[in-house]
Amino acid sequence: MSSNNWLTVIGLGEDGPSALSPAARTLIESAEVIVGGQRHLDMVQHCKNVERLLWRSPLSDTVVEIGKHVGKRVTVLATGDPMWFGIGVTLTRVFGRDSLTIIPAPGAFSLAAARIGWPLADVTCLTLHGRPLSLINLHICPDARLLVLSENGRTPSAVAKALVERGYGPSTLTVFEHMGGSSEAMCEATAESWSDNRCADINTIAIECRCAEYALVLSRLAGLPDNVYEHDGQLTKREVRALTLAALAPQPRHHLWDVGAGAGSVAIEWMRAGGQATAFEHNLDRVSTIARNAERLGVPSLSIVPGIAPATFRGVERPHAVFIGGGLSNPGVADACWEALESGGQIVANAVTIEGESELIRRQSALGGTLAQFAISHLEPQGRFNAWRARAPVTQWSAVKP
């Protein structure tokens, strides 16, 4: 423990401070400032002559207030494990790990896994607390096991409805309320039979996904069917999209710029693979379409920047990879993308016109990389017979910035 530690974060269960170690209780009782929600502050009413800070909305206001007490003994009370979607993550980012001592309690995920008998390593853990319900859409798939922290008592009903809408009505929901406390309770039913009764606000949902025959089953790999996207024709088609994402090589937490995003399909599938993305699109109708596609496909945190590139690039986090799907001929777009790209980053650009292809040939000659052309044909009816129908060939430039 560093001598610079001034900020302690202690996880509490439903049983409160009585379940803590003597050392953890001492850190609470010797604090000069105690920070927490009203429920947690009520648990430490025995602490006298201490300044109390109640979490405010937005949370960042209270974080700023905590920063004013550097050098004092500050203890933050959290729920369960503060590093599982908890306040410990935010405070470590703001004040640095050397400033903090973190003492976790068994979190909701560990408690729920123990009660339902699931190996925690095989479970996807999510939170819908302060986050959109559509996040769950990314993780709904056959035989998946999900543990979900609820926003409030209405969350289980909303989750059940979302499962039914995607064809996962046979899925089993088990809701645990107030785990570890005297008010602990559990209820279980399938999504399609779930009642609209409100649960306790403090609850965790265990979901065992089971799909009906008509369920929408989507892979996390690149190349989703074109018909899962809303679009006006400006869509990187399935086969070319898969080849494009293979060239971009998504990495967890890496940031993609999707320039001339159209329906947003490349950015969305990059994020479904674990990355972050910003979609740039000048057409406002398409901007709305991208947002709806992102919600439906489980990546509502996709950043969408309307306007004409490259002016819209200003102030946006630098990318690890860039895809230029539209606007290649706009003055300055390709140059600005190359300049913004991190060293070692990947740039991929597609063109279907002769003019666009000429630009890619010029780029490849000046900057290196590879050129490839894809010609995709589909079998379609022709009278009483079938014939191959060719789509316009796509020329692709791919390069790594030195």
CATH of the domain at 163: 3.30.950.10
Q: Do 350 and 378 fall within a single domain?
A: yes
Q: Do 97 and 113 fall within a single domain?
A: no
* CATH number for the domain that contains residue 264: 3.40.50.150
Q: Do 184 and 242 fall within a single domain?
A: no
Residue 243 confidence class, pLDDT cut points 50, 70, 90 = very high
pLDDT for 3 equals 46
pTM: 0.91
pLDDT for 329 equals 82
Residue 359 has pLDDT above 70, yes or no: yes
Domain that holds residue 27: 7-105
Question: Of 179, 208, 237, which residue constitutes the final position of a domain?
Answer: 208
Residue 215 falls inside a structural domain: no
pLDDT for 76 equals 97
pLDDT for 354 equals 94
Q: Do 18 and 87 fall within a single domain?
A: yes
Closest CA to 156 of 178, 179, 169, 175: 175
Q: Do 40 and 119 fall within a single domain?
A: no
Mean per-residue pLDDT, 229-237: 95
Q: Do 233 and 373 fall within a single domain?
A: yes
Give the pLDDT confidence of 166-194 residue by residue, as tens digits.
999 999 999 999 999 889 999 999 999 99
Place of tokens 């003019």: 355
Per cent of the chain over pLDDT 70 is 99
pLDDT for 48 equals 86
Q: Do 22 and 158 fall within a single domain?
A: no
* CATH number for the domain that contains residue 101: 3.40.1010.10
Residue 221 falls inside a structural domain: no
Query: Residue 369: CB partners within 8 Å, gap ≥ 6?
Result: 347, 363, 397, 398, 399, 400
Mean per-residue pLDDT, 205-225: 95
Q: Do 326 and 375 fall within a single domain?
A: yes
Residue 150 falls inside a structural domain: yes
Q: How many structural domains compose the chain?
A: 3
Residue 253 has pLDDT above 90, yes or no: yes
Mean per-residue pLDDT, 89-108: 95
Mean per-residue pLDDT, 192-209: 94
Residue 392 falls inside a structural domain: yes
Q: Do 236 and 366 fall within a single domain?
A: yes
Residue 30 has pLDDT above 90, yes or no: yes
Question: Of 105, 137, 167, which residue constitutes the final position of a domain?
Answer: 105
Q: Do 244 and 349 fall within a single domain?
A: yes
Mean per-residue pLDDT, 325-346: 93
Residue 240 has pLDDT above 50, yes or no: yes
Mean per-residue pLDDT, 80-95: 95
Could you give the angle at the alpha carbon of 20 between the alpha carbons of 14 and 23, nearest 5°?
155
Q: Do 331 and 391 fall within a single domain?
A: yes
The answer to whether 283 and 260 have CB atoms below 8 angstroms apart is no
Mean per-residue pLDDT, 336-361: 96
Residue 2 has pLDDT above 70, yes or no: no
Q: Do 367 and 232 fall within a single domain?
A: yes
Residue 220 falls inside a structural domain: no
Residue 43 falls inside a structural domain: yes
Mean per-residue pLDDT, 300-316: 96
